[in-house]
Structure formats: structure tokens, C-alpha cells
Amino acid sequence: MDVSLIPQVIANGLMMGMSYVLIASGLTIVLGITRIINFAHGEFYMLGAFCAYYFFQMAGVPYLVTILLAILAVGVLGMGVERVLFRPIREFFLPSVVVALGLAFFLAGTAAWLFGPEEKVVTSPFPGVLNALGATFSVERLVVILIAIVIMGGLWYLITRTKLGRALRGVAQDREAASLQGISVNGMCNISMGIGCGLAGAAGVLLGPIFIVHPYLGALAIFKALIVIILGGIGSMPGAVLGGLLLGFIESFGLTYLGGVTDVLLFAFIFVLILFRPGGLMGRVWVIRH
Amino acid sequence: MSRRELAKWVGLPLLALLFLAAPFIFNDPYYQHLLILICTWSILALGFLLILSVGQFTIGHAGFMAIGAYASALLTTKVGVSFWFALPLAAVIAAIFGAVMGWVMLRARMGAFLLLTLCFAEVVRLTIVYWPSLLGGRAGFPNIPRPDAIFGMAFDSKFPYYYLILFLLAVMVFVIYRMDRSKFGLTFKSIAQNPPLAQSVGVHLMRYKILAFTVACFFAGAAGSFYAHYLTFLSPEYFTVWKSLIVQMYAIIGGIGFMIAGPIAGAAFLVVLPELLRATETFSFILYGAVFILVIFFIPGGLLSLPQQVGVWRQALRRRAKIPGGIRPWQYLRPGS
């Protein structure tokens, strides 16, 4: 075990972890409030990445404006999807899986058709590297971590400190009771989908320049996001943060010191975790009951 | 003769004849390949529906198919067993895995069970990926022998393969039919609809759930073994969670209210549709997505409930009423059960 690698491994873990947090937090909000496993969440992330390509790379829109644009565009699309596709079948498990999966296929296929299936490269908005503690940090990744922290902070404020957040938590806890208090369940589901997809869009813009942008990006993203929310606790926001960071560090340490076996061990661990703690590590904190 | 009797005595034999004659009607290796795929995926989709009929939703069924496929590949190449012993053995191995994993997993609620099957399927797939010395790893498992000739049939064209998989499918259909028409069928339905009530009248929930799960895994293993020797090559990429999910869509699109015909019809429809429209890969993604959504919204009972659904629409039109939701066999399935 090479100790001198540790700062670098921690940096990579933090970076991967924060990107998982960004993707998974949107998924967990939607799952917590609408109780639909949004298999199309990865595709919203992919659309965000294409926003980065078209707005930032092609049209030359400033990076921070691109993030806001992507949150808006993908969020509004998500709200539309919720209204038209998810609302009628929200109460039923089986059709919601089918519709979400169908939506994922449809969006991935449409993106491949419209944007072309080839991989696209987004140039880094913040080139350069930083050397400290014997590790190399790329400035871009540090900025991503910072922006991710800002976004998660904003989300934390929204959910715990505002009236809207209280309404969202209410719907997540008990729909009937919430609607008795005059909270619109339909409205909250719509808003949660907007927030969730907006987060996916932001994640896409942030991670697009780091990874490669292509239309079939979503499948891997949703898979990782699912693992994160299982680890952390389904529907729990701190769970998504914990799960995301944990997954980032496990992958970073595991791939450096153990190799591919990490993945097998990870899934075996999650298997045991679900058996004995179906709520995940942080189940039932904040948002939902599973 | 009533319409029901007509269907039973004329329709069914005709359908069976169609299945038997299919490779002669579509006498082209590519079409025959599609027919073989339809039968293979039908077996998996039937297994999925059997598990769904006890109220559990698996998204890792391809994992058990992978166990069957690799078990059979190992038995024939490393141990030197003939394919005709390897196939039942592989099915039994998959069934044993199914019984043990079922005993572990089936006590979870629907949502957790879904995630457990996902994890199990990934553990299986990743074990294959990271064990290249035995299982071929990411590069795949090459040179799996073709089945030996049997009853004078050499496996050198698609015909014997088709009849073999059709035979497996027929066995599975027979088993499921007998189960569905016996006490088991009713018990399964009661478990899916109201587990506490079923338990209160003396149904041993776990026993029946494990039974259904094991039967489904047995046939998934047999289909996997067939698949291995049909392709003569295996890759862990054939058994991803997405593959399981698509196979399960076959069953749902066909109609989960139709225990046997639904998955087969759904598999046939969804395998043939992109070919009929000569869709590219991109376009078939869009097509599948659109079909999934449209079927759930407009024919929620699945394709086979279309005649009933048309009846519902006509009645609504006649009364100038709002078009109702129609037949929704899934409304009894709640994630909490």
C-alpha cells in the first residue's frame, strides 16, 4: 500500500463523491416525494451535459449562466414530464416503472437522433492544475466541488428552512395528512420533479466538461445514482450526500488499492445492507419513509 | 360452439401449429434467429411474471440466466459433460441459487426486493467480469461447443435450435399452466393481492414465494444454458440489469393479466417491431420508449387486452362518457406488500 498516494486518492474520491451527490440528490427528492423510481433521471443529467455542450461550448454563454440555463431548461422539462406522464400513474408501482423506463429510452434515443451518437468534448472552463500536499488537483474539479457544495447548501436551506420545503417534507411523510393541511400534493410532486431534474441538469453541466458527453450517458449515471440512494437511504437528503461521498471514496480507494474486486464487494455490501437496514444508512432522516 | 370453445379447440391447435411451422414459414436464418430470441426471452419474461404473481418485482432475472449459461459453459468445456446433461444440470444449479437467494431475498418488501435482485444480478455479472481465468472476464467465454446431434438431428442449422428452445418454452408453459390452474394459482393470486389476509387463512407466504421464484430461476437457467450453446460465446454484457428490465417490459407490454400468452406476445411484438420498421438502433430506442408509454396509458392491461379495451372505449363512446381508465390488472400490486 502506497501511502504517498493518499492525498490524491482522497481528492479523487471527494470529486467523484460530489458528482454522485449531485446526481443522486435529484433522484432521491423525486423518489421521496412522488415515490416513483425515475429511471429517466440519468437522461435528464445527459440533457444537462448537452446544455453544456450547446450553450457553453458552441454558443459561448458564460459558464455560470449556462448552469442556470440548464437548471431552468431541464427543470421545466421535468415538470412537464411529471404533469403529463407521471401524475396519472403515480399511485401505481408497476406502470410507473414502465413509464419511467420508457421515458429513459425515448429521451436517450431522441438525443442520439437529434444530437448524433458520437462523443462530444466540452473544453474545460477552468484549465490549470494546483499542486499541494503532494497531490495534483485540477482547478476545474475544485470549482465543481465548490459549486456542488453551494448547490447542496441551497437545497438544504430550501428543504429545512422555507415554507415550501416544509410542504415538501410533509408530502413525503404522509400524503393524506399533508393534503388535509391544505398542501397541494400534485403541486408538490410537480415542484419536486422540477427541483430533481434541475439538479440533474446542473450536474450535467458541471460534469460534462470533466467526462465525455454522449447521448447514452444516462444509463451509467442512473445506475450509480441508484446505488448512492440505496447506500444512503431512500428519499433521505443527508443519505444522498453520505452515500455519494461514501461511494466516491470507496471507488477511489478501492480502485487504487484493491482493483476491480471493489465493485463486487460493494454490491455484496449493499445487498447485506438492504437485508438488515432496508432504509439505508440514513433512512428516515428528513424526507421520506421508504 | 361457444366462442370460448372455439378458441380452445380451433385457436389453440392452430397457434401450436403456427409455432411448429414458424421456421418453415420464415425460412431465412435471420428470421429464424429472431424466432429463437423470441422463445428465449419469452422464457425469462414468463419467469418474471410468475414472480410478479406472488407480488414481487425482480429486476435481476438475467443474473440467474447468467448462472445457468456459465454453469453450462463450464460443465461442457472444463468438465467435459455432454450438452444434454449440462442443460438440466445448469437449470438445477440456477434453481438451487434461486431457492437459496429466494429464501434470503423474498422476505423483503417489494421496493427492497427490487434493489436486492439488482444487487444480486450485479454481483453475478461483476464476478464474471473480474474472474477472467475461469469465466472469461470482460473479453467473454469463447468456444462453447454446439450441442451433440440427437435423434439424428445435427445442430448445424437454426432448425434444431428453434425446436429445442420451443420445447423448453412448451415445458415451461405446461408447468405454469398446471400451476396456474391448480391450488397454486389461486394461492399466488391471494399472496399478490393481500398478503396478510392470505396468511391469516393459513397460506405459508415464504414457501409459496420461494416455490414460484425457484421455478422461474430453473427455467431462466435452462434458457441460459441454451443461449450459451446457441451463441457458442458468452459475455457478461449479455446479462446486465438493463437486459432484465427490457425482458420484464416484454411481459408487462404483453399483458400481466395473461399469465402465459402475455409474455410470449409481448416478446414477439417487441422483438419483431423494430425489424418490421427496419429501425436503426437509435430509432428502436425511441420506438421502445414510445411503445412502453403509449401501452401503459392507452392499453393498460397490455397488448392482449386490446379487444377488451376496444369494448371499453366503444361503450364509453356510446354513452358519451369520459373515456375510463380501462382494464388495469396492476392496480392490486402495491409497493408496500
Residue B325: band (very low, low, confident or very high) from pLDDT cuts 50, 70, 90: low
Q: In angstroms, how far is the first alpha carbon of chain A from the final one?
A: 40
Question: In angstroms, what CA-CA distances link B223 with A141, B204, B285, B320?
Answer: 47, 29, 25, 49
Lowest mean pLDDT among A136-150, A186-200, A274-288, B279-293: A274-288
The per-residue pLDDT for range A192-222, each reduced to its tens digit, is 999 999 999 999 998 888 888 888 888 888 8
A228 part of a folded domain: no
Cα–Cα distance for residue pair A263/A280, rounded to 1 Å = 18
B20 part of a folded domain: no
Residue A197: the pLDDT is 94
Residue B329: the pLDDT is 60
**Which value does ipTM take for this structure?**
0.87
Strands A129-132 and A135-138, by their bridges, are antiparallel
Tell me, yes or no, if B279 comes closer than 8 A to chain A by beta carbon. no
| Average pLDDT over every residue of A224-247 | 85
The amino acid occupying position B220 is A
Q: List the alpha helices (DSSP H) in A52-184.
A: 63-81, 93-115, 139-161, 163-173, 175-180
| Average pLDDT over every residue of A115-136 | 79
Cα–Cα distance for residue pair A63/A124, rounded to 1 Å = 10
Tell me, yes or no, if A126 comes closer than 8 A to chain B by beta carbon. no
CB A210 within 8 A of CB A111: no
Choose the mutation target among B293, B298, B337 for the interface with A, i.e. most A CBs under 10 Å: B293
Residue A286: band (very low, low, confident or very high) from pLDDT cuts 50, 70, 90: very low
Residue A6: band (very low, low, confident or very high) from pLDDT cuts 50, 70, 90: confident
**Number of domains observed in the structure of chain B:** 1
CB A198 within 8 A of CB A39: no
Show the cell assigned to A177. Answer: 395528512
Choose the mutation target among A83, A93, A222 for the interface with B, i.e. most B CBs under 10 Å: A93
Burial category of B24 from C-beta neighbours within 10 Å (exposed 0-12, middle 13-18, buried 19 and up): exposed
φ and ψ of A136, to 5 deg: -105, 125
Chain B CA closest to residue A95: B296
pLDDT at A290 > cutoff 50: no
A151 part of a folded domain: yes
Cα torsion angle, A65, A16, A99, A30, sign: negative
Question: In angstroms, what CA-CA distances link A114 with A117, B70, B270?
Answer: 9, 39, 24
Cα–Cα distance for residue pair B297/B300, rounded to 1 Å = 6
The per-residue pLDDT for range B171-188, each reduced to its tens digit, is 999 999 898 888 888 888
CB B127 within 8 A of CB B221: no
Cα–Cα distance for residue pair A59/A77, rounded to 1 Å = 21
Tell me, yes or no, if A115 comes closer than 8 A to chain B by beta carbon. no
A55 part of a folded domain: yes
B19 part of a folded domain: no
B12 part of a folded domain: no
- Residues 6+ positions from B127 with CB-CB distance below 8 Å: A264, B135
pLDDT at B203 > cutoff 60: yes
B27 CA: distance to closest CA in chain A (Å): 32
Burial category of A210 from C-beta neighbours within 10 Å (exposed 0-12, middle 13-18, buried 19 and up): middle
Domain that holds residue B161: 26-332
CB < 8 Å to A108, chain B:
285, 289
Tell me, yes or no, if B285 comes closer than 8 A to chain A by beta carbon. yes
**Paired residues of A129 in beta bridges:** A138
3-state percent helix, strand, coil for chain B, nearest multiple of 5: 75, 0, 25
Task: Tell if the CB–CB gap between B130 and A35 is shorter than 8 Å.
Answer: no
Show the cell assigned to B2. Answer: 361457444
Task: Tell if the CB–CB gap between A104 and B333 is shorter than 8 Å.
Answer: no
Task: Tell if the CB–CB gap between B285 and A92 is shorter than 8 Å.
Answer: no
Residue B217: the pLDDT is 94
* Residue B130: count of CB within 10 angstroms of its CB: 17
Lowest mean pLDDT among A243-257, B67-81, B129-143: B129-143
Domain that holds residue A185: 27-213
**Number of domains observed in the structure of chain A:** 1
Tell me, yes or no, if A260 comes closer than 8 A to chain B by beta carbon. yes
A42 CA: distance to closest CA in chain B (Å): 13
Residue B330: the pLDDT is 57
| Average pLDDT over every residue of A244-250 | 90
B117 part of a folded domain: yes
Task: Tell if the CB–CB gap between B292 and A85 is shorter than 8 Å.
Answer: no
Cα–Cα distance for residue pair B81/B258, rounded to 1 Å = 38
B94 part of a folded domain: yes
B266 CA: distance to closest CA in chain A (Å): 13
Mean pLDDT, chain B, whole residue set: 84
A204 part of a folded domain: yes
Choose the mutation target among A43, A81, A98 for the interface with B, i.e. most B CBs under 10 Å: A98
A98 CA: distance to closest CA in chain B (Å): 6
The per-residue pLDDT for range B106-147, each reduced to its tens digit, is 887 777 888 888 889 989 998 888 887 888 778 888 878 787
3-state percent helix, strand, coil for chain A, nearest multiple of 5: 75, 5, 20
Cα–Cα distance for residue pair A22/A241, rounded to 1 Å = 8
Element containing residue A129 per DSSP (H, E): strand A129-132
Number of A to B CB contacts under 8 A, please give it: 126
Q: What is the length of chain A?
A: 290
- Exposure class string for A12-46: b at 16+ Cβ within 10 A, else e: bbbbbbbbbbbbbbbbbbbbbbbbbbbbbbbbbbb
Lowest mean pLDDT among A42-46, A178-182, B60-64, B310-314: B310-314
Tell me, yes or no, if B242 comes closer than 8 A to chain A by beta carbon. yes
- Residues 6+ positions from B307 with CB-CB distance below 8 Å: none
Residue A289: the pLDDT is 38
- Residues 6+ positions from B256 with CB-CB distance below 8 Å: A94, B49, B52, B262, B302, B329, B330
Question: In angstroms, what CA-CA distances link B300 with A80, B110, B258, B292?
Answer: 22, 21, 13, 10
Q: Nearest to residue A205, comparing CAs of A40, A29, A73, A15?
A: A73
pLDDT at A121 > cutoff 80: yes
Q: What is the CATH number of the domain that holds B242?
A: 1.10.3470
* Residue B207: count of CB within 10 angstroms of its CB: 10
CB < 8 Å to A98, chain B:
249, 252-253, 292-293, 295-296
B21 part of a folded domain: no
- Percent with pLDDT over 90 in chain B: 26
- Minimal Cβ distance to B245: which of A101, A103, A264: A101
| Average pLDDT over every residue of B142-155 | 76
Tell me, yes or no, if A219 comes closer than 8 A to chain B by beta carbon. yes
CB < 8 Å to A112, chain B:
282, 285
A79 CA: distance to closest CA in chain B (Å): 17
SS (H, E, C) B3-56: HHHHHHHHHHHHHHHHHHHHHHHCCCHHHHHHHHHHHHHHHHHHHHHHHHCCCC
Radius of gyration of chain A (CA): 19
Show the cell assigned to B310. Answer: 376496444
* Residue A196: count of CB within 10 angstroms of its CB: 28
φ and ψ of B153, to 5 deg: -100, 115
CB A274 within 8 A of CB A231: no
